[in-house]
Amino acid sequence: MPDYFNEMYQDGRVREPYAGIEDWANDMPVDLRGMKQSEAEALFRRIGITFAVYGEGGSPDRLIPFDMFPRVFSAREWDRLDRGIKQRARALNAFLADVYDRGEIVRAGRIPAHLVYQNDAYEIAATGFTPPQGIFSHIVGIDLVRTGPEDFFVLEDNCRTPSGVSYMLENREIMMRMFPTLFQNNRIAPVETYPMQLKRTFDSVAPKKCDGDPCVVVLTPGHFNSAYYEHSFLADMMGVELVEGSDLFVEGDFVWMRTTEGPKRVDVIYRRLDDAFLDPLCFRSDSMLGVSGLMNVYRSGGVTICSAPGAGVADDKAIYTFVPDMIRFYLGEEPILKNVPTWQCAKSDECKYVLENLHELVVKEVHGSGGYGMLVGPKSTKDEIALFRTKIEDNPENYIAQPTLALSTCPTFVEEGFAPRHVDLRPYCLVGKDITLVPGGLTRVALTEGSLVVNSSQGGGVKDTWVMAEG
């Protein structure tokens, strides 16, 4: 059995970041814990924080389980993560600006051309255009796992529309409401400035044609989308309009929003729908979710789209393996955070190794997400492994493989008290004129004992993430 790093206990003693909450957890009566858990669930339901699982019968909306035991980082630990995440966000944006222009990293032979230019996420319509501040990905969600006291690995990058930040904010709000004394007794860095920083990021990338204060909107596919709550929540917190494609139209060189007082010009669109649906004149002609002519206005500098169309090529799982090279190539620095060792099944020798060791590896679809399209070898049946073997043999370029990491564990409330459960972390890095990162993120937890799958769609839950303030 792997030796998992316990983030609260080491050598039988409580680690320093958790010193302030051990007594709180041990002294909480069972009936009080049950009452507080019910209170948290009631708050989540009253606020409307649900997500959808497509393909399920009945109502698709469900609550993400919330665990009240916070995950805690010291200021020193967070400082390293902060520097590493910002470094990665800078390199990813430099890569995007490059491959939609001269493609120097490809010319230098550092990344194979076909992985970039034949990638499904590479958008020809974005070539030759540099968005304001040269920023393509304005919100970079970096998924991190921990395997030891000093060992952090980047599991994947999310450069399009990373979701979950509403849970980061609401987890903190509910914890503060339920346990105010806990926050009075511990110096915890705040996360509630995120919406203000997000709005400031959007303002900083307004197009040159913007006249006065930028008009920012959040573009949602609509209330049937699984993350609709988050779209509405962020628009409300930023004090901007939540719009659907039918609320916008193009006239002349600008995008306009229909209002009760007449058309209003829009400068920045925070889009929460995929590239394919943004503009039926440029992408999918059957899209009813986007705005006809939007890309013409975008390319002429009349509106900024956040994140930019085509940003997804940077978070493709095949491209992921080259991010350390990007950091060296564009920044002239060594990576602060490590990648997980990765085998590309597109390479025959690496594919051979993967096929011989499927029972030990995690295999992922290059374009997969949400815990779907993957095989966790040590937790899979012989039939599941055989099925994936066939899939890889039929289409090797569609898969990568990684070792099964010994993900760290964090205490999680269970019926008999609290017990270790595996966790990961998604911080949200904002990239505009400045690069900012609130001290915290979304911690996802595998609530099933022994499980390594933390995705909400696969039964995972969420936790509040604390960074202890210095001083």
Q: How do residues 109-128 score in pLDDT, each as one tens digit?
A: 999 999 999 999 999 999 99
Mean per-residue pLDDT for 357-374?
A: 79
116 neighbors 99 (Cβ within 8 angstroms): yes
Q: Is the pLDDT score of 55 beyond 70?
A: no
Choice between 459 and 237, residue whose per-residue pLDDT is larger: 237
Structure tokens at 149: 């006291």
pLDDT at 467: 98
Amino acid present at 14: V
Band of residue 222 on the pLDDT scale cut at 50, 70, 90: very high
Identical fold between 208-302 and 343-403: no
Strand partners, 214: none
pLDDT at 58: 45
| Mean pLDDT across the chain | 92
Residue ranges of the domains in the chain? 9-191+313-339+405-467, 208-302, 343-403
Task: Provide, rounded to the nearest whole percent, the portion of the chain with pLDDT above 70.
Answer: 94
Per-residue pLDDT tens over the stretch 128-181: 999 999 999 999 999 999 999 999 999 999 999 999 999 999 999 999 999 999
The kind and range of the H/E element at 116 are: helix 113-117
Q: Is the pLDDT score of 2 beyond 70?
A: no
pLDDT at 109: 97
pLDDT at 371: 56
pLDDT at 471: 59
How many helices (H) and strands (E) in the chain?
Answer: 14, 25
pLDDT at 377: 86
Mean per-residue pLDDT for 32-49?
A: 86
pLDDT at 379: 81
pLDDT at 236: 97
pLDDT at 64: 83
pLDDT at 1: 46
Q: Is the pLDDT score of 219 beyond 60?
A: yes
Mean per-residue pLDDT for 208-225?
A: 94
pLDDT at 454: 80
Band of residue 452 on the pLDDT scale cut at 50, 70, 90: confident
pLDDT at 57: 47
Q: How far apart are the first and last CA of the chain?
A: 39
Lowest mean pLDDT among 95-104, 197-206, 350-359, 363-372: 363-372
CATH 3.30.1490.270 for the 343-403 domain, yes or no: yes
Give the length of the chain: 471
Residue 361 phi, psi dihedral angles, 5° rounding: -110, 165
Mean per-residue pLDDT for 49-60?
A: 53
Mean per-residue pLDDT for 32-43?
A: 91
pLDDT at 62: 67
β pairing state of 139-146 and 152-158: antiparallel
pLDDT at 115: 93
Strand partners, 241: 217
Per-residue pLDDT tens over the stretch 251-286: 999 999 999 999 999 999 999 999 999 999 999 999
257 neighbors 248 (Cβ within 8 angstroms): yes
Mean per-residue pLDDT for 203-218?
A: 96
HSE-up of residue 241 (Cα within 13 Å, Cβ side): 20
Residue 427: CB partners within 8 Å, gap ≥ 6?
A: 81, 85, 141, 142, 144, 437, 438, 440, 441, 442
Choice between 52 and 97, residue whose per-residue pLDDT is larger: 97
Mean per-residue pLDDT for 394-417?
A: 90
Structure tokens at 181: 């004394």
Residue 146: CB partners within 8 Å, gap ≥ 6?
A: 5, 7, 152, 153, 407, 408, 423, 425
Alpha helices per DSSP H over 280-401? 294-299, 317-320, 323-326, 348-356, 382-394
Q: CATH number of the domain at 208-302, out of 3.30.1330.10, 3.40.50.11290, 3.40.50.970, 3.40.50.150?
A: 3.40.50.11290
Mean per-residue pLDDT for 200-225?
A: 95
Residue 277: CB partners within 8 Å, gap ≥ 6?
A: 221, 283, 284, 287, 289, 290
Mean per-residue pLDDT for 47-73?
A: 71
